[in-house]
Structure 1
Amino acid sequence: MDKQFAIELVEQKLPKKRFKHSLRVAETAVKLAEIYEGDKEKAELAGILHDFCKYDELSYLYQQVTKYQLDSNLLSYGSEILHGPVCAVIMEHQYGVTDEEVLQAIYNHTTGRSKMTKTEKLVFIADYIEPKREIPGVEEIRKLVYSGGGLDRTIYEISKRTVLHLVNKDVSVYQSTIDCLNYYNLNEKN
């Protein structure tokens, strides 16, 4: 899928605010790819597409999890978790995206996972730090990644903050997020 088609596809489906967020994530992912020697085109495409299913009905998302035989544990979560995995299979099966790195970056952009590819890392971080995000502590994360703190260290810090936030809200934490936290915590200590 080429960049222009992806932009048009997302613009037609998403509310204006979310569409602009997607473009900012793509731009941020490209900027990070330049710093960390990643594939700018893959990061950009995944950034544009990552929230394509963000506002789909929950019943539709559940149907897609079942139809495409995704992790059945996903059925215990809402759209905040489901939109990434469902978007990845929709992009593959309905729009012909075949690049596994792009699909994995879309799939895991919210949860993260252990052993992410560089493209996954770029999009995961970009989604968290894009310029209009106003998450408590986001400036520290921006400073870390832009000052050469490394992708893995940044992923650990984001995952740690995410898990703490969810636990404080008494919300279940998806296993991939815990795996991400543990992997990048152990990775940081080695």
Structure 2
Amino acid sequence: MKIDNAVELVKEKLPEKRFIHSMNVAKTAVKLAEIYDGDAQKAEIAGVLHDYCKYDDLGTMYQIVTQNGLDSDLLSYGSEILHGPVAAVIMNKEYGINDEEVLLAIKNHTTGRAQMTKTEKLVFIADYIEPGRQTPGVEEIRDLAYNQGSLDKTIYEISKRTVLHLISKDINVYDATIACLNYYNYSDERIKDD
């Protein structure tokens, strides 16, 4: 799919505020790709499409999870978690996107996971730090991503903040998010920097 087609597809489906967010994520992902020697084209298209299913009917999303053999644990979560995996399936089956990195970036942009590809990392971070985000502490994360040279440390900090936020609200934490937090935890010497 060409980027112009992706933009048009998202523009037709999403509310204006979410469309602007998607464009900001795409631009931020491209900027990060330039810094970290990533694939800017893959990052851009995944950024544009990542929230395609954000407002889809929950029942329909559950059906897509079941019919496509996605992780059955997803059925315990709402659209905040489901929209990424469901969008990846739709982009593959209905729009012919078969680039695994793009599909993984769309699928995991909310939850993260252990051992993400570079494109996944770029979109995951871009979704958190795009200019429209006003989350408390986002400036620290932007500084880490843009100026301190580590995708992995940035992912760890985002995952940690996400998990702490969910716990403070008594919201269940999806297993992949915990796996992401544990994998990118630099107090554990399993991994080195990017």
Q: TM-score range by the shorter chain?
A: over 0.9
SS in 2 for 1:95: coil
1:19-70 Cα offsets, whole Å, 9 max, x none, are 0100000000000000000000000000000000000011111011011110
The 2-side partners of 1:144 and 1:103 are apart by 26
Instruction: Tell me the residue number matched to 1:88.
Output: 88
Contiguous gaps of at least 5 residues in structure 2: none
Instruction: Tell me the residue number matched to 1:126.
Output: 126
The 2-side partners of 1:109 and 1:87 are apart by 11
Instruction: Tell me the residue number matched to 1:66.
Output: 66
Instruction: Tell me the residue number matched to 1:76.
Output: 76
1:188 offset after TM fit, Å? Answer: 6.3
Which amino acid in 2 is paired with 1:124?
F
Which amino acid in 2 is paired with 1:137?
G
Report if the CA contact (8 A) 1:155-1:184 is conserved.
yes
1:186 offset after TM fit, Å? Answer: 4.6
Report if the CA contact (8 A) 2:153-2:186 is conserved.
no
Instruction: Tell me the residue number matched to 1:168.
Output: 168
Report if the CA contact (8 A) 1:153-1:188 is conserved.
no
1:187 offset after TM fit, Å? Answer: 7.5
> Where is the helix percentage greater, Structure 1 or Structure 2?
1
1:148 offset after TM fit, Å? Answer: 2.7
Among all aligned residue pairs of Structure 1 and Structure 2, give the percentage whose two residues are the same amino acid: 69
| 2:143 is equivalent to residue 140 of structure 1 | no
Report if the CA contact (8 A) 1:152-1:188 is conserved.
no
The 2-side partners of 1:29 and 1:187 are apart by 27
SS in 1 for 2:6: helix
Which amino acid in 2 is paired with 1:121?
K
Report if the CA contact (8 A) 1:25-1:127 is conserved.
yes
SS in 1 for 2:185: helix
Contiguous gaps of at least 5 residues in structure 1: none
**142-151 or 45-54: bigger deviation:** 142-151
Which amino acid in 1 is paired with 2:16?
K
The 2-side partners of 1:50 and 1:12 are apart by 15
